[in-house]
Chain A
Amino acid sequence: MSTTVDRPAAAPTPAEPPRPGPVSWLTTTNHKDIGFMYCVTAFAFFLIGGALADLLRTELAEPGRQVLSNEAYNTTFTIHGTVMIFLFVAPFGAGLGNYLIPLQIGAPDMAFPRLNALSYWCFAGGGLLVLLSGFAAAGGGTATGWTAYPPLSEGRLSPSIATDLWILGLALVAVATLLTGINILTTVFLMRAPGMTMWRVPIFTWNMIVTSILGLVAFPPAVAAFGLLLVDRRVGGHAFDPLGGGDPVIYQHLFWFLGHPEVYILILPFFGVITEIIPVFARKPLFGYLGFVLATLAIGALSVGVWAHHMFTTGVVDNPFFSAMTFTIAVPTGVKFFNWIGTMWGGKIRLATPMLFSIGFLLNFLIGGVTGVLLASAPIDFQVADSYFLVSHFHYTMMGGAVFGIFAAIYFWYPKMTGAMLRESLGRWVFYLLFFGFNLTFWPQFVVGLRGMPRRIVDYATGLGFDTPNLVSTIGAGVMTVAVLLSLADLWISRRRRIPAGDDPWGGSSLEWATTSPPPEHNFTTVPRIRSARPAFDLHHPELEP
């Protein structure tokens, strides 16, 4: 059953009837529902991954083993990493993209709605398999690290079926990513509203374009790597087994060919999010639209060429090539930073919660980015790779960056999705606690990493200078946990006692703010005239006709 949709002209159509109950979630193909489902499911995985992190930090608070066995610890960090990367941050970005892209370009839905639904369910099913691989597999949970390097991940040394389940789960998630990527690209290229040229498309949507291209380019080699690993494990292959003529280094090439673009897949949507938020709260146009587009394209393209900077210490790759390529990515990222500052400059900045989280993003991501430049140097990497310095670097970019971007997105778009506001007062508390807790957790990890603490260890010896920083780090994790619980309380309260949001509570620029909150089923009863990259702003400020 389907409806043929014509482009809305001038006359509004009557309001859509309300949707029936919970079964509709299982069968919906509407991009807003699916986007929302992605975000909710991803956030649930965040809570699981966060609980696992709290377990890890509890064990590491003091030297000596207290809480977890070796096996349990190793499984815990494996699932923590897998869940946070593949089941939380990436799908949350995909969910936001699903929800916002058709609205931002003036389309009634995504290009392939049923494929969209299939994407979501592949993600949910894959996520379930990954969780099973950690918790419910006979023979012990998978404990290879999220990177699953052979020979450790081969059948002889990781005999449990858990690792096979993990591989299958991730393969399903990869399918979801590929389908979504195709959907996003087709939608943006072929379904924009009249007047919405590519150079007026919001930067968030541009970032999703590059994210999708990266996903399509980068996932297949990793799926190949996992497939070969599965063959090695179950069917007698030796692709990565030196005793059979194979080479574990090939796995690393295939894996990191995805692995590095993956981290850009994780961060680009959230670069996009704060690029949407900052101009709105500075009450100014975006500074350097073209620069943003070119920088995003550059980051995406270059990120495909840097993968072996994860392999500097192997001794078998050409370090200077990858080092040089990695250094180049600093340039477009720096351009973005200056453009964000330029957007704030000369503005009338309102520090509402979405803006607070965006500022937090900038402050944290800068540290992540600068330490990334440090890591781009191979000799410096000889000291800091595989240490807590590295762990802290990627948490500064992924958590200090992407997760702060996620909270910014939640506080910014929740009113649009639900028609209700979140509590500003609670939101400020969430921000300050999260910012303080985050830095308290991860700054000490730079310290111990430099002092010589390697990663993925269940325990450490006392007297090496690791004790106090680890304790401080664990306290920080506790503070972050409180912040996250507070955000849950905010979400709960805002549902119970609704404060109506209206169409445009923030004074937004992009098209989604020119329709109701929540939008009608096919998004727009009337599409406004589009003459710039800020159609909603133009609608509300006709005196500033572009």
Chain B
Amino acid sequence: MRLFWVLAAFFVGLGVVYWAITYEWTGTVLLVAAGAMPLIVAGWATHAGSTRTSLPDDDPEGAPADAAGQELGEFPEATGWPVFIVLGIVLTGAAIVYGSILLPAGVALLGWALVGFVRESKH
């Protein structure tokens, strides 16, 4: 999308200007790297967009009937995995900081929950 190309160019351009004025490393790296994120999105969007026909979303005259029956995708009803993932992270983090007895428990919980979360999306 054009927005992301513009953003990427702006950040990289600003980085160049910054370097020219200040010769300061940290800021220059930060600005140029900030341009990398929109660049990734812009690159992907351009590549994906080249194969896709235009959406009814973008048609100013689009009517609800145009998209009727179009499958929007799967919307999961409910899932408990996110709670367990975070409990695992919190336990692991607390274990690192408070005392390593809890560490295996935290890592195990986190691992189990991550696997469950990913597998849930596979069907």
Complex A–B touching at CB under 8 A: yes
Binding site for B on A (CB under 8 A): 1-10, 24, 26-29, 107-109, 113-114, 117-118, 120-122, 124-125, 128-129, 132, 161, 164-165, 168-169, 172, 185, 189-198, 200, 213, 216-218, 221, 249-250, 253-254, 257, 297, 301, 304-305, 307-308, 317-318, 321, 522, 526-531
- Main secondary structure, interface of A, reads helix
Q: List 30 A-B contacts (CB under 8 A).
A: A1-B76, A1-B78, A7-B68, A7-B69, A8-B64, A29-B79, A108-B75, A113-B76, A114-B76, A114-B117, A117-B79, A120-B82, A125-B86, A129-B90, A164-B96, A169-B93, A190-B57, A191-B57, A192-B58, A194-B57, A195-B56, A195-B57, A196-B57, A253-B26, A301-B10, A307-B27, A318-B22, A527-B64, A528-B64, A529-B64
Do B77 and A10 touch (CB < 8 A)? no
**CB nearest to A31 among chain B residues:** B75
Q: C-beta contact mask, B15-48 vs A, less than 8 Å → 1, else 0?
A: 0001001101011001101100110010001000
Q: Distance in Å from the Cβ of B106 to the closest Cβ of chain A? A: 12
Which B residues lie within 8 Å of A193 (CB)? 57, 62, 64, 67
Binding site for A on B (CB under 8 A): 1, 3, 7, 10-11, 14, 18, 21-22, 24, 26-27, 30-31, 33-34, 37-38, 41, 45, 55-83, 85-87, 89-90, 93-94, 96-98, 117, 120-121
Q: Distance in Å from the Cβ of B63 to the closest Cβ of chain A? A: 6
Query: How long is the Cα–Cα vector from A161 to B99 in the complex, in angstroms?
Result: 11
Do B66 and A165 touch (CB < 8 A)? no
Q: Distance in Å from the Cβ of A209 to the closest Cβ of chain B? A: 9
Q: Distance in Å from the Cβ of B51 to the closest Cβ of chain A? A: 14
Which 10 A-B pairs give the minimum distances between C-beta atoms?
Answer: A194-B62, A9-B68, A194-B56, A192-B57, A195-B62, A125-B86, A118-B82, A27-B78, A121-B86, A318-B22
Q: Distance in Å from the Cβ of B71 to the closest Cβ of chain A? A: 6
Which A residues lie within 8 Å of B61 (CB)? 195
Which B residues lie within 8 Å of A308 (CB)? 27
> B77 is contacted by which of A7, A29, A198 (Cβ under 8 Å)?
A29
**CB nearest to B34 among chain A residues:** A217
Q: Distance in Å from the Cβ of A533 to the closest Cβ of chain B? A: 11
Q: Distance in Å from the Cβ of B94 to the closest Cβ of chain A? A: 7
Interface centre among B37, B73, B85 (most CB of A within 10 A): B73
> A28 is contacted by which of B24, B31, B78, B94 (Cβ under 8 Å)?
B78
Which A residues lie within 8 Å of B21 (CB)? 318, 321
Do B97 and A161 touch (CB < 8 A)? yes
Which A residues lie within 8 Å of B93 (CB)? 129, 165, 168-169, 172
Known pairs A129-B94, A190-B57; list 14 more (Cβ under 8 Å): A5-B75, A6-B69, A27-B79, A125-B86, A125-B87, A164-B97, A189-B1, A217-B38, A221-B33, A249-B26, A253-B27, A305-B18, A317-B22, A528-B64
Do A217 and B64 touch (CB < 8 A)? no
Known: A7-B68, A9-B65, A26-B83. A113 touches B75 (CB 8 A): yes
Q: Distance in Å from the Cβ of A81 to the closest Cβ of chain B? A: 21
Do A253 and B30 touch (CB < 8 A)? yes
Do A5 and B69 touch (CB < 8 A)? no
**CB nearest to B99 among chain A residues:** A161
Query: How long is the Cα–Cα vector from A216 to B34 in the complex, in angstroms?
Result: 9
**CB nearest to B67 among chain A residues:** A7
Query: How long is the Cα–Cα vector from A198 to B2 in the complex, in angstroms?
Result: 12
Query: How long is the Cα–Cα vector from A72 to B123 in the complex, in angstroms?
Result: 52
Do B14 and A128 touch (CB < 8 A)? no
Query: How long is the Cα–Cα vector from A189 to B2 in the complex, in angstroms?
Result: 12
Do A191 and B72 touch (CB < 8 A)? yes
Q: Distance in Å from the Cβ of A220 to the closest Cβ of chain B? A: 8
> A114 is contacted by which of B57, B64, B79 (Cβ under 8 Å)?
B79
> A121 is contacted by which of B30, B85, B94 (Cβ under 8 Å)?
B85
Which B residues lie within 8 Å of A27 (CB)? 78-80, 83
